[in-house]
Amino acid sequence: MVATTLSPLAPASFPALPPIAGVRLGTIAAGVKYKDRPDVTFITFPEGTVVAGVFTRSLTPGAPILWCRDALKASGGRARALVVNAGNSNVFTGDEGYNASAETARAAARLVGCPAEDVLVSSTGVIGVPLPYEKIVGALPSVVLAEDRWEAAARGIMTTDTFAKGATATADLGGVTVTINGIAKGSGMIEPNMATMLAYVATDAAIGQAALDAILRDVNERSFNAITVDSDTSTSDTLLLFATGTAGNAPVADPASPALADFRAKLEAVMGDLARQVVRDGEGAQKFITVRVRGAEDHAAAKRVGKTIANSPLVKTAIAGEDANWGRIVAAVGKSYEKVDARRLTVTFGGQVLTENGRVRPGYDEDALTRHLKGQEIDIEVDLAVGQGEATVWTCDLTHGYIAINADYRS
């Protein structure tokens, strides 16, 4: 792996994540692939914890994805533990790969004292190499677990990440204050057709499993599913939301309950923050780009146009070069094949409207646009002028750093 320096878009520091009662975390250097760094993360949850998950839509998913789907089905959404290893994704590893995930879960289950299906597992790293699960199984009993080790857990799941990613919020749920903590990893192979590579969110709220699942899918659409780094959907994308129910609120079973309004908003804040941190750690990223699309036929069309702009190598390289080549945005809109009124299409770049009547707006301020492009936060808005659909997508620029990191990852 190429030695990487801290992303220039990194937050100043890791936020202070408060304990969530009964959620205990720890890491250990098991030597799965990396030397001299923690590469196995172990998290346990109190009895009564429920979990909801969304996973990659890839049709060549990794063995941990298959295990998690099976486990969630078997347990009905109970969870007592999570084991994550970094350095090896356990993808395209055949029956032996599934067995490696199962053995990892069984080892954790023995330590916790629960059925294996109450244990979720994730793996991230190189594809196609057998996972030396014996190292994980052998290391798990030595992991020191504590409620105050969220940052260590965030570090333990990193691969090419240049900073650990965490977010936290509190919400009012029926008069009770509940906490939401989340950690995530991911910096390449990011086009969520569900999520970033790995993200784990836990709360002490008491929410029924079916409601938790509905809320997770809804919020995911506007957070992890609204980011892209390089259009490459991973085989391992996993997002899990755990609810321990220890906060003391009256349990909520209906996802549409008005009591959940603040919880939903704060969950979106936490998940959106984590998702944007993944973009800020995009491989080689020098600029953080927000793409807002309005006037589309519907939300899905707006999202597709936003993704097409955000994934265009020509748009991303122009921004990397601080080049006011807004015509590439118009070209990207066109190749989305979504309905647009080309004569009424409006492109706004850095807050400045650049177009009118299907052509450039005479007298637009190119110097102001150039100044905007020299900053780290780039804003693109397009109005397709055909409907009311809106969506926001976040991405980063495409730089020499991306090439350097990815042309020499496995070796």
Catalytic residues: 196
Residue 375 lies near a copy of itself (rule: CB under 8 A): no
- Cα angle 108, 118, 263 (rounded to 5 degrees) comes to 115
Size of the site for a copy of itself (CB under 8 A): 74
The SS3 assignment for 84 reads: strand
Among positions 14-43, residues that touch a copy of itself (CB under 8 A) are none
Q: Does 352 bind a copy of itself (CB under 8 A)?
A: no
Using the rule CB under 8 A, is 346 a contact of a copy of itself? no
Q: Would you give the DSSP letter of residue 289?
A: E
Task: Report the alpha-carbon distance of residue 369 to residue 364 in Å, rounded.
Answer: 9
73 contacts a copy of itself (rule: CB under 8 A): no
Task: Name which of 131 and 207 has its Cβ closer to a copy of itself.
Answer: 131
Q: What are phi and psi of 397, to 5 degrees?
A: -80, 170
Residue 60 found at the interface with a copy of itself (CB under 8 A): yes
Q: How far is the CB of 408 from a copy of itself (least distance, A)?
A: 5
Q: How far is CA 43 from the centre of its chain?
A: 19
Number of H helices, E strands in the chain: 11, 16
Please list every residue from 296 through 325 that binds a copy of itself, using CB under 8 A: 311-314, 317-318, 320-321, 323-325
Cβ 319 to a copy of itself shortest distance, Å = 8
Give yes or no for residue 330 binding a copy of itself (CB under 8 A): yes
Among 134, 342, 351, 375, binds a copy of itself (CB under 8 A): 342
Instruction: Report, in Å, the least distance between residue 337 CB and a copy of itself.
Output: 6
CA-to-CA distance for 334 and 319, rounded, in angstroms? Answer: 19
Estimate the share of the chain in helix, then strand, then coil, as percent rounded to the nearest 5: 35, 25, 40
Among 40, 91, 274, 393, binds a copy of itself (CB under 8 A): 91
C-alpha to C-alpha distance for 368 and 121, rounded to whole angstroms: 49
Nearer to a copy of itself, 356 or 379 (CB): 356
Cβ proximity to a copy of itself: between 41 and 312 the closer is: 312
* Residues 309, 315 contacting (CB under 8 angstroms): yes
**What DSSP line would sit under 169-229, residue for residue?**
EEEEETTEEEEEEEEEE-SSS---SSSSSEEEEEE---B-HHHHHHHHHHHHHTTGGGB-S
Task: Find the part of the chain contacting a copy of itself (CB under 8 A) among 147-155, 172-180, 296-304, 330-338.
Answer: 330-338
**Smallest gap from residue 61 Cβ to a copy of itself (A):** 7
- By the rule CB under 8 A, 369 interacts with a copy of itself: no
33 φψ region: left (φ > 0), alpha (ψ -120 to 50), beta (else) = alpha
Cα–Cα distance, 63 to 85 (Å, whole number): 13
Identity of the residue, 50 or 65, whose beta carbon is nearer to a copy of itself in the bound complex: 65
Nearer Cβ to a copy of itself, position 223 or 355?
355
Residues 99-138 that bind a copy of itself (CB under 8 A): 126-130
Structure tokens at 202: 């836990």
Q: Is 8 in the site for a copy of itself (CB under 8 A)?
A: no
Residue 105: which of 97, 95, 117, 91 has the closest Cα? 117
Using CB under 8 A, which residues numbered 133 to 192 contact a copy of itself? 188-189, 191
Could you say which residues in the range 207-236 bind a copy of itself, by CB under 8 A? Answer: 230-235
Q: Which amino acid is residue 14, in one-letter code? A: F
Instruction: Tell me the C-alpha distance between 281 and 256, whole Å.
Output: 34
Q: For the chain, how far is it from start to end, CA to CA, in angstroms? A: 7
Stretch that binds a copy of itself, among 53-61, 114-122, 162-170, 206-214 (CB under 8 A): 53-61
Q: Does residue 302 contact residue 391 with C-beta atoms inside 8 Å?
A: yes
The residue among 38 and 295 lying less far from a copy of itself, judged by its C-beta, is 295
Of 123, 203, 336, 348, the one binding a copy of itself (CB under 8 A) is 336
Q: Which of residues 235-264 bind a copy of itself (CB under 8 A)?
A: 235
Figure out which of the listed residues 343, 371, 375, 388 binds a copy of itself, where binding follows CB under 8 A: 343
**CA–CA distance, 218 with 272 (Å, rounded to integer):** 12
Least CB distance to a copy of itself at residue 407 (A): 3
**337 belongs to the binding site for a copy of itself (CB under 8 A):** yes
The answer to whether residues 17 and 204 touch, using CB atoms and an 8 Å cutoff, is no
Nearer to a copy of itself, 214 or 314 (CB): 314
Tell me: does residue 400 bind a copy of itself (CB under 8 A). Answer: yes
